[in-house]
Amino acid sequence: MKGLTKMFRKPCRHGEKGFTLIELLIVIAVLGVLAAVVVPAVTQFLGGAHLGAASAEQANVITAATSYLAATGDFPSDSDDLMTATGGTEGDFLSETPKYGVYTFSATTGEVISVTPTTLATDNGLSWSGGQWTR
């Protein structure tokens, strides 16, 4: 075993210890380049995840509004009505309050006519326009 260690070990000059300054600078530069490439990609990936979650939430709210219509005969005025339905228990149509916005519905068609974004939506660069969430 001793011979094997000698074979892979770099012979050191007298007094040589550790890494040189140039070696450390090269490692730091490589790590900096990797960080410059990885951080924007991760940020874009997370932004897309929030956009997908907001769109899924919108679809769930629309489905809950349709269920509300079937149960009550009227469209809800906003997503808060879906949490406290008349004559029902809290959360009859939605199991939790929407995280990305408060949805307002048309009384005649039941379409989402406006959304008031929450801080979660605005902090992640989401806005609601044209009937859908955008970034």
Domain ranges of the chain: 40-134
Check residue 102 and give its pLDDT: 92
Tell me the CA distances in angstroms from 56 to 13, 119, 125, 132, one per residue in order. 65, 18, 17, 11
Of 39-48, 56-65, 100-109, 125-134, the poorest mean pLDDT is in: 39-48
Mark 65-74 as b/e (b = at least 16 C-beta within 10 Å): bebbeeeeee
> How far, in Å, CA of 103 to CA of 98, rounded?
9
**First-residue to last-residue Cα distance in the chain:** 61
When pLDDT is averaged across residues 13-22 and rounded to a whole number, the result is 76
Check residue 100 and give its pLDDT: 93
Check residue 103 and give its pLDDT: 93
The model carries a pTM of 0.65
Q: Taking all residues of the chain, what is their mean pLDDT, rounded to a whole number? A: 83
Residue 90, pLDDT > 60, answer: no
